[in-house]
């Protein structure tokens, strides 16, 4: 991470946390004579557009009150991470419960199944072969798979 991104992260993390969100990512990119500052946030239950707008105002005020971005003008973009982001933290697994995931393990095996639960060390997936518990320490990379006809856990009731 660049020095600018480090300074920005130190300024924004307390604001994001105070609003009840997790800072999931931060990017600072040149964009002509300006810089683009992309801030990705999320929380349990997701984030809606009104919340993004309010948080964007708070983050902008915090940045304007600091020298984290320096003198160069910037464009602030606040967003939530896309569905294609990797599952890298226990909270990502928890937030994607009931979604289909593809998990590549360190031993080169692949597990594909529906996330039925997660704790701080592992996730449980329902696969065609039954229930599998996957330890996060064994995961090489994991992603949610996009479903055009999403599973409804209340079907058949």
* Phi then psi dihedrals of residue 121, to 5 deg: -120, -15
In a domain, 84, yes or no: no
Asked, for residue 129, whether it belongs to a domain, the answer is yes
Query: How confident is the model over 87-137, as pLDDT tens digits?
Result: 999 999 999 999 999 999 999 999 999 999 999 999 999 999 999 999 999
Pairing of strands 100-105, 139-144: antiparallel
The CA distance from 134 to 75, in Å, is: 40
pLDDT at residue 64 is higher than 60: yes
Assign residue 129 the CATH number of its domain. Answer: 2.30.30.100
Query: pLDDT (tens digit, 9 = 90+) per residue, 11-57?
Result: 999 999 999 999 999 999 998 899 999 999 999 888 889 999 999 99
Domain with residue 24: its CATH number is: 3.30.300.70
Residue that is last in its domain, among 79, 112, 133: 79
Please name which of 69, 62, 84, 89 lies closest in space to residue 7, comparing C-alpha atoms.
Answer: 69
The residues near 102 (Cβ < 8 Å, ≥ 6 apart) are 110, 111, 112, 142, 143, 145
Per-residue pLDDT at 143 = 95
- Structural domain including 112 reads 90-144
- In this structure, the answer to whether residues 7 and 71 fall within a common structural domain is yes
Q: What is the pLDDT of residue 148?
A: 82
């Amino acid at each position: 991470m660049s020095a600018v991104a480090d300074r920005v992260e130190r300024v924004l993390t307390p604001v994001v946390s105070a609003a009840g969100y997790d800072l999931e990512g931060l990017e600072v990119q040149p964009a002509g004579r300006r810089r683009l500052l992309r801030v990705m946030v999320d929380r349990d239950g997701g984030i809606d557009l009104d919340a993004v707008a309010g948080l964007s105002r708070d983050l902008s005020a915090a940045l304007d009150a600091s020298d984290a971005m320096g003198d160069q003008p910037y464009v602030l973009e606040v967003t939530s991470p896309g569905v294609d982001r990797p599952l890298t933290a226990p909270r990502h697994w928890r937030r994607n419960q009931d979604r289909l995931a593809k998990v590549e393990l360190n031993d080169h095996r692949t597990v594909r199944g529906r996330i039925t639960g997660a704790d701080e060390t592992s996730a449980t997936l329902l696969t065609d072969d039954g229930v599998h518990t996957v330890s996060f320490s064994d995961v090489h990379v994991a992603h949610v798979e996009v479903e055009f006809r999403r599973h409804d856990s209340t079907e058949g009731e």
